[in-house]
């Protein structure tokens, strides 16, 4: 029986750095995980030589975690869609190049990227800017794949539809270096029906290709479908619900795709061990929140 490929976002802190990230993932019973190579809000980065990568990779090997199925998330400050401030675009290009190199040094292959926000310059200008930026960043010999994340449509976010993601991939020169990351909360808030996830996958298959799905973010939503707000909720406590999300996690078309939880902490505690357990046992725990709130 194939193991369920599921984990969560984990931290990376001194002094254990990536080794601590792997230990955290294992404490949740995870078979994959997602991390940032540094704080997502700034450009300060520790040299890869300080991150205890070899120890982390050995611990992954010892516990059956394949680094090819581990996910790295690019920092939020990268905005390739910004045409209003040239310095923001230039920073996005240079910093994304650096992040790709860092991911390569670590040995991972999947880097999730928010496509960007056009900052009131309009969809057409923003999409063109993302394409220009990716054309500057991507190289023929890189082994790191960029997964453009599906977004909720908050503010001037781009990548809010499968059509937009398809357009970006189709117009970037090195499109073979691109894929997508589907986020269930974002899809819901963008107007897609997670209860009919196979219809979403059918559209992805037709317009992009299912082989381009490099990661799935598994999140419930605090908002009704189409709200364009992007507020994650714990599994089974939002408007999507456990049943629909459980079907996503166990969809055979996504068997080899890493599924990553980004649900909120409850009373300053990570709920990921119990949320992973719910998916492994196909059983919703309606008392999850009250148990954490009592801690």
Residue 228 marked ligand-binding: no
Instruction: Judge if the upstream peptide bond of residue 276 is cis by omega within 30 degrees of 0.
Output: no
Task: Compute the chain's Rg from CA coordinates.
Answer: 18
Residue 183 marked ligand-binding: yes
- Three-state SS for 269? strand
Residue 171 marked ligand-binding: no
Q: How many residues does the chain have?
A: 295
Residue 269 marked ligand-binding: no
Task: Give φ, ψ of 153 to 5 degrees.
Answer: 95, 20
Q: Which of 67, 68, 91 is nearest to 18 (CA)?
A: 67
How far are the Cα atoms of 31, 134, 168, 179 from residue 176, in angstroms, in the given order?
A: 26, 12, 12, 8
Residue 62 marked ligand-binding: no
Residue 250 marked ligand-binding: no
> 242-249 vs 197-207: helix axis angle to the nearest 10?
40
Residue 118 marked ligand-binding: no
Residue 287 marked ligand-binding: no
Residue 230 marked ligand-binding: yes
Query: Residues marked as binding for Zn(2+)?
Result: 73, 114, 149, 183, 186, 217, 230, 232, 262
Query: Residues marked as binding?
Result: 73, 114, 149, 183, 186, 217, 230, 232, 262
């Amino acid at each position: 029986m194939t193991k369920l490929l599921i984990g969560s976002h984990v931290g990376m802190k001194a002094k254990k750095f990536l080794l601590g990230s792997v230990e955290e993932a294992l404490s949740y019973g995870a078979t994959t995980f997602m991390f940032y190579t540094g704080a997502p809000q700034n450009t300060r980065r520790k040299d890869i030589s300080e991150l205890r990568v070899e120890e982390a990779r050995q611990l992954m090997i010892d516990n059956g975690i394949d680094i090819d199925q581990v996910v790295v998330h690019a920092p939020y400050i990268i905005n390739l869609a910004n045409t209003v401030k040239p310095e923001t675009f230039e920073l996005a290009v240079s910093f994304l190049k650096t992040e790709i190199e860092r991911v390569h040094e670590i040995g991972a292959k999947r880097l999730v990227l928010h496509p960007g926000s056009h900052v009131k310059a309009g969809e057409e200008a923003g999409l063109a800017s993302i394409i220009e930026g990716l054309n500057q960043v991507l190289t023929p010999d890189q082994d790191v794949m960029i997964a453009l994340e599906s977004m909720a449509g908050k503010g001037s976010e781009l990548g809010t539809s499968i059509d937009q993601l398809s357009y970006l991939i189709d117009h970037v020169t090195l499109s073979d270096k691109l894929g997508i990351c589907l986020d269930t909360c974002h899809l819901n808030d963008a107007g897609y029906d997670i209860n009919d996830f196979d219809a979403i996958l059918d559209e992805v298959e037709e317009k992009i290709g299912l082989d381009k799905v490099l990661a799935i973010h598994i999140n419930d939503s605090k908002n009704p479908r189409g709200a364009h707000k992007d507020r994650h909720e714990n599994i089974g406590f939002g408007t999507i619900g456990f049943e629909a999300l459980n079907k996503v996690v166990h969809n055979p078309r996504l068997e080899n795709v890493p599924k990553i939880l980004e649900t909120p902490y409850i009373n300053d505690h990570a709920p990921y061990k119990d949320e992973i357990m719910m998916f492994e046992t196909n059983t919703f725990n309606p008392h999850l929140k009250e148990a954490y709130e009592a801690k």
